[in-house]
Amino acid sequence: MDESFYRHKFQEAVNMLSREFIDSGLRMSVDTILESVALKIYKPEWSSTPESPMDAPGRIFFSVWINEKSINEGKLYYNIHALKLRNLKDYKIPARSFAEDFRNRFAEDHKNWENVSVEYGPLTLMEGWIKLRPDHIQKDLCGLARKFLNLSPVVDEILSTYRLKP
């Protein structure tokens, strides 16, 4: 895999999207993780350490990634992770409840996501893939990111139901 090529393409997509995401509170990063180039979209307040959300043990984020295996399959993968939500301050979230609540709400939007499944444990809320089109990768990344932008209020709404009372 030509990592620098894909990092550049992913970063170009982020640059195209930045203005749209500023008002939503969502942040984006492009990183290389486990031999994959990944775009991650998150809100700092969706983490147990808002000042360092991508390193926080507890966090929720959307990810789109590519690696050698996905290139050979002709796929661009995406998912939403909810890791160690018990660590989120100001919330009391039972282990599987958040995933169940998310999936119930996601059922309304499921048809808008290609090749998606929610048949995972509580850490992976959903996962899917789209056909890898190297000549259109920025456009496809932007499309997936915008879908998540539209879905992100659902995460906020569900989290609010678990907020501890002051």
In a structure prediction context, what are the per-residue pLDDT tens digits for the chain, which is 166 residues long? 899 999 999 999 999 987 888 889 999 999 999 899 999 999 999 998 878 888 888 999 999 999 999 999 999 999 999 999 999 988 999 879 999 999 999 999 999 999 999 999 999 999 999 999 999 999 999 999 999 999 999 999 999 999 998 7
Query: pTM higher than 0.75, yes or no?
Result: yes
Contacts of 63 (CB under 8 A, 6+ apart): 38, 39, 40, 41, 78, 79, 80, 81
Residue 106 has a pLDDT of 97
